[in-house]
Amino acid sequence: MAVTLLAGCAQKQEESLKFITPVPFSQVQIQDGFWSPRLQAHKDVTLAVCIDQIENQTGRIRNYENAAKGRGEHSGIFFDDSDVYKALEGMAYSLQNHPDPELEAKCDEWIDKFAAAQQPDGYINTFYTLTGLENRWKNMDRHEMYCAGHMIEAGVAYYQVTGKRKLLDVCIRMADHMMSVFGPGKRHWVPGHEEIELALVKLYQTTGEKKYLDFADWLLNERGHGYGSYGDERVWPTHYYQDEVPVREMAEISGHAVRSMYLYCGMADVASYTGDQGYRDALDRVWDDVVYRNMYITGGIGQSAHNEGFTDDYSLPNLTAYCETCASVGMVLWNWRMGQFTGDGKYADVLERALYNGALAGISLSGDRFFYVNPLESLGNHHRQAWFGCACCPSQICRFLPSIGNYVYGVSDKAIWVNLYMGSKADIGKGITLTQETAYPWEGAVTLTLGLERRLRKELRLRIPAWCKTYTLTVNGQAVEAPVEKGYAVLEGPWKDGDRIQLNLDMPVEVVAADPRVKEDIGLRAIQRGPVVYCLEEADNPGDFDKLTLSADAELVTETLPGKLGGIVEISARMGDSMLTFIPYYAWDNREPGKMKVWVPWN
């Protein structure tokens, strides 16, 4: 059962002002040689790992049981509730495409515990319930609204998938509690870790209650006015929290990377309904600063472990790169939203880079081990772990992977948009289906077949990735020339049932040089093919790993290896009697321990 809007809403929901409406993953069946095995591993392995950690290893679920009783200790970190909610969101998304009565029963069991832990006034947070409710809402950096936001996202997801609203009602009561304390004419508040803002927009979308959209907008506007409340525990400067200037005045990325991503997602979501051009202009300025001055080739962001975030422009160290998995997922979420405003392919280009490299590296091929930090070089001592004391990244991957269908297709008044290339069948609506067949990202050949109940007069807009320099297009076997607008090839209709469009993206190996202002990469080169960034790993390159170099006259040869690392295209750089072997960056550290590097000395 899929539900998109509660019946009997008190207020009519405003129409989104976004140029493109995404086709939700619930209407996209992934049938893909690259992604289907990963989704199966998520269903069979990753979910079980998260459930076991939450129930048996870490005490996270016991916090709810103790909170319901009003006694007992709180185990873990003060924001650990958020991991439970993110795992539940991933469970809900899995149920959408893989109905499982046992998994649904587990969700209901958890939700019963959440509801029992909620206070009479609607407040829910196990840390403060068990350590002293008198201390709640005194320190903005104690993640109360962050946890509430992830609960709302989980509650909305579970309601949309199952039609069950018990958790959604818990979320509504918590949102109403927050609004009874904060807002115009009440207390000022700046959430130390953003997330609530975008979650409130989801609650508005689901209930039609505009007060939640208004509250999200109010919270955004609280920033940059000195309203932050830290109690006696202030550690970081205001820019760490994106609280240095009002959001409409932002021009540069700063502070904690994941918090920044969630803030920008919230701004984009609110602007999509309010039309706030000040938000849009600020997001455009900050996007330029992130992508052109502070982003790694993998789509990773956040250079420093010290603040889990940003330092100076063009300072992009490889060995000590932080590049938190959550931040790479955040880049997908933010760029997805940005693309919906304008239909500009540059946002999908960055989304794709973060998806196939920075985010995907965060989980092992087996689905049971995780990276928190994703450096671009390793001395052999950096490895995925089964879990973390701060487990935001495993739970983030848990909810992210089953939702990847969200990012593939979009619809506007005049066009159907194909943003990503992924074997799938999409129900576009109004009697329109689109089937995509491809071996992407290893091959650039894509076939799209239209299923239509009646003739379609919309355009088809197919993204031509920035990495692709030449390509061909055919319609029903006939070569066609199509204009390219903002990175999308525009194919005019009308279309009839069974029409086939074939796109062939040339996918040569590229040797990439960094911007010369990135001092750490002077004299180095990286290898990329299609959307996939490659690396050297010691397992494939025995000998003195530190002395490996790549020559300008190297012959770069690709080989498809179905049995290696889950199936990859390997790249060999052949230089006389020597050879370097490159594997996809996302696949490193899935074998014996060893050194790794993305950027290689060049001669």
Phi, psi of 514 (to 5 degrees): -80, 165
Report if residue 581 sits inside a domain: yes
- Indicate the average pLDDT of the chain: 95
Give CA–CA dist 347/337, Å, rounded.
9
Report if residue 553 sits inside a domain: yes
Range of the domain at 433: 411-440+444-505
pLDDT of residue 229: 78
Give the model confidence (pLDDT) of 99-130 as tens digits: 999 999 999 999 999 999 999 999 999 999 99
Report if residue 479 sits inside a domain: yes
Residues 513 and 590 in one domain: yes
Strands (E), 106-226: none
Residues 485 and 556 in one domain: no
Give CA–CA dist 546/39, Å, rounded.
36
> 308, 437, 459, 537: which one is catalytic?
308
Where among 485, 505, 525 does a domain terminate? 505
pLDDT of residue 9: 42
Residues 491 and 538 in one domain: no
User: In which residue are the tokens 């309601």 written?
Assistant: 159
Residues 418 and 486 in one domain: yes
pLDDT of residue 18: 82
Report if residue 464 sits inside a domain: yes
pLDDT of residue 13: 63
Residues 451 and 489 in one domain: yes
Where among 483, 505, 527 does a domain terminate? 505
Residues 424 and 498 in one domain: yes
Residues 430 and 491 in one domain: yes
Q: Is the pLDDT of residue 569 over 80?
A: yes
> 107, 171, 392, 535: which one is catalytic?
392
pLDDT of residue 389: 86
Q: Is the pLDDT of residue 456 over 80?
A: yes
Give the model confidence (pLDDT) of 407-442 as tens digits: 999 999 999 999 999 999 999 999 999 999 999 999
Confidence of residue 228 (pLDDT cuts 50, 70, 90): confident
Give the model confidence (pLDDT) of 17-76 as tens digits: 889 999 999 999 999 999 999 999 999 999 999 999 999 999 899 999 999 999 999 999
Residues 514 and 559 in one domain: yes
- Specify whether the CB–CB gap between 409 and 23 falls below 8 A: yes
Report if residue 18 sits inside a domain: no
- Specify whether the CB–CB gap between 573 and 555 falls below 8 A: yes
pLDDT of residue 12: 55
Report if residue 178 sits inside a domain: no
**pLDDT above 70 as % of the chain:** 97
Residues 584 and 552 in one domain: yes
Give CA–CA dist 147/401, Å, rounded.
21
pTM comes to: 0.96
Residues 486 and 537 in one domain: no
Residues 421 and 480 in one domain: yes
CATH number for the domain spanning 494: value is 2.60.40.1180
Closest to 577 (Cα-Cα) out of 596, 597, 551, 603: 551
Closest to 447 (Cα-Cα) out of 468, 472, 466, 428: 472
Give the model confidence (pLDDT) of 336-385 as tens digits: 999 999 999 999 999 999 999 999 999 999 999 999 999 999 999 999 99
Residues 423 and 449 in one domain: yes
Where among 489, 505, 521 does a domain terminate? 505
pLDDT of residue 2: 42
Q: Is the pLDDT of residue 553 over 60?
A: yes
Report if residue 474 sits inside a domain: yes
What is the number of domains present in the chain? Answer: 2
Say whether 308 is catalytic.
yes
Give the residue-averaged pLDDT of 308-316. 95
- The neighbouring-strand residues paired with 529 are 509, 532
Report if residue 264 sits inside a domain: no
Say whether 392 is catalytic.
yes
Q: Is the pLDDT of residue 474 over 70?
A: yes
